[in-house]
Structure 1
Amino acid sequence: MLWDDFMKSDYHDWRGSGHSEDRLDKPGWLEQWLAIHNLPYPGTPSAKELDDLRWLRGHMLRIVQKLTVHESAAPADLEGLNRALSGGPMFLRIAESDADYRLESIPLRAGWSRIGAEVAASFGRILTECEPSRLRICENPDCMAVYYDETRNRSKRFCDDKACGNLMKVRRFRARQKAAKTGVTTSES
């Protein structure tokens, strides 16, 4: 999802090294991200455009943080989404494809404000058309990635069960091993 990959631009090393980076500053990351989502690369963003993207990411994160503790999003954060949405005015048109019709939205503007509007719209669809209560933040304290829980019983705890989930399982196992050794040593004394 567009919004999901955008949120991952604020990277934290899930393995616990403490390394983090803002991938918006990483050369080539934006261009690659947009190519994956079939969006045009409007060129290198200015400092203000990068600040606007970070600002949008912050609003989206605050909304997810509120929703994960069963609170409503703050009006200021919703206004932040609406501000980003206003940067991408568009018109609608009907297009034909394989004896079927589809409604297309055609942007009136190019540039980074349009990209911000696309991200905000992608996130807005999760809030309005899906179940916002399924938004999660990875329980690995070193990762903190945001994701949408698509499991039937809403039990997904980690952004990636093979990476963060497995790592946390190993950490719990080692903590139990250490506690058992400490308990054995203490009981022998």
Structure 2
Amino acid sequence: MVFAHDTEDALRGVAALVNTGANADSLRTFDELDEFVQAQQYSGSRTHDAAELRGVLALRSRLAGLWSAPEDVMVQETNAILREAKALPQLVKHDGLDWHLHATAPEAELAVRIGVEAAMALTDVVRAGELARLRICAAEDCHAVVLDLSKNRSRRFCDTGNCANRTHVAAYRARKASA
């Protein structure tokens, strides 16, 4: 484990959110938002309205811009997200999860809760000097983000499709064609 379990979970959530808009938008409807929230196990209240969806989409865009940002930009924007939410970190235990940090009230807007969780995780990434673990997929035709939590920092491809397989097959075929 590179980071605390809640940080890794939050980073996976950020990557998943950003990747909903990477190659084809898979976060256009309330049902898709419900599926995303359930898959990422975000807790707290929900409004299930257009404003909630717009808020999450705006946050997605904001976080996508941070994924490969320079450290000073990451720090500035992360601090802005925390400041805007008036974040107050607290240890909590819920839904079968062990102790972890929340910095918003359960009734805060979904986008605010997701944003603060993302900002806190990105804070840990910056503090650990591990920005290189946040990458863009190495496949030429993919714009998804990659979270590399491997020990040897070798992960190059995203989870959104079969980018690794497709790239390796293309390289194999190119080698065979030139032989």
TM-score (norm 2): 0.68
CA distance in 2, matches of 1:94, 1:121: 13
Pair 1:156–1:91, CA change in 2 (3 A): closer
User: Which sections of structure 2, spanning at least 5 residues, go unmatched?
Assistant: 1-11
The ranges of structure 1 where at least 4 consecutive aligned residues each deviate by more than 6 angstroms after the TM superposition are none
- AA aligned to 1:43 is H
Cα distance, 1:170 vs structure 2: 0.8
Q: Do the aligned residues in 2 keep the contact of 1:87 with 1:117 (CA within 8 Å)?
A: no
Q: Do the aligned residues in 2 keep the contact of 1:140 with 1:168 (CA within 8 Å)?
A: yes
1:29 alignment counterpart: 32
Pair 1:152–1:43, CA change in 2 (3 A): same
CA distance in 2, matches of 1:54, 1:175: 37
Matched position secondary structure for 1:147: strand
Deviates more, 1:166-175 or 1:146-155: 146-155
The equivalent position to 1:4 in structure 2, one of 1, 15, 20, is 15
Deviations 1:48-98 (CA, angstroms, capped at 9, x unpaired) = 6256324412322342xxxxxxxx3353x533332222343344556689x
Q: Do the aligned residues in 1 keep the contact of 2:137 with 2:145 (CA within 8 Å)?
A: yes
Query: Looking at CA atoms only, which structure, 1 or 2, has the larger radius of gyration?
Result: 1
Deviations 1:118-141 (CA, angstroms, capped at 9, x unpaired) = 232233333334622222222111
CA distance in 2, matches of 1:29, 1:140: 26
Pair 1:29–1:133, CA change in 2 (3 A): same
Correspondences of 1:20-169 after superposition (within 5 Å): 21-39=24-42, 40=44, 41-46=46-51, 49-50=55-56, 52-63=58-69, 72-75=70-73, 77-92=74-89, 102=99, 104-105=101-102, 107-108=104-105, 110-111=108-109, 112-129=111-128, 131-160=130-159, 163-169=162-168
CA RMSD of aligned residues (A): 3.2
TM-score (norm 1): 0.65
Q: Do the aligned residues in 1 keep the contact of 2:67 with 2:134 (CA within 8 Å)?
A: no
Q: Do the aligned residues in 1 keep the contact of 2:103 with 2:116 (CA within 8 Å)?
A: no
Q: Do the aligned residues in 1 keep the contact of 2:103 with 2:117 (CA within 8 Å)?
A: no
The percentage of counterpart residues that share the same residue type is 24
CA distance in 2, matches of 1:51, 1:159: 20
CA distance in 1, matches of 2:168, 2:91: 50
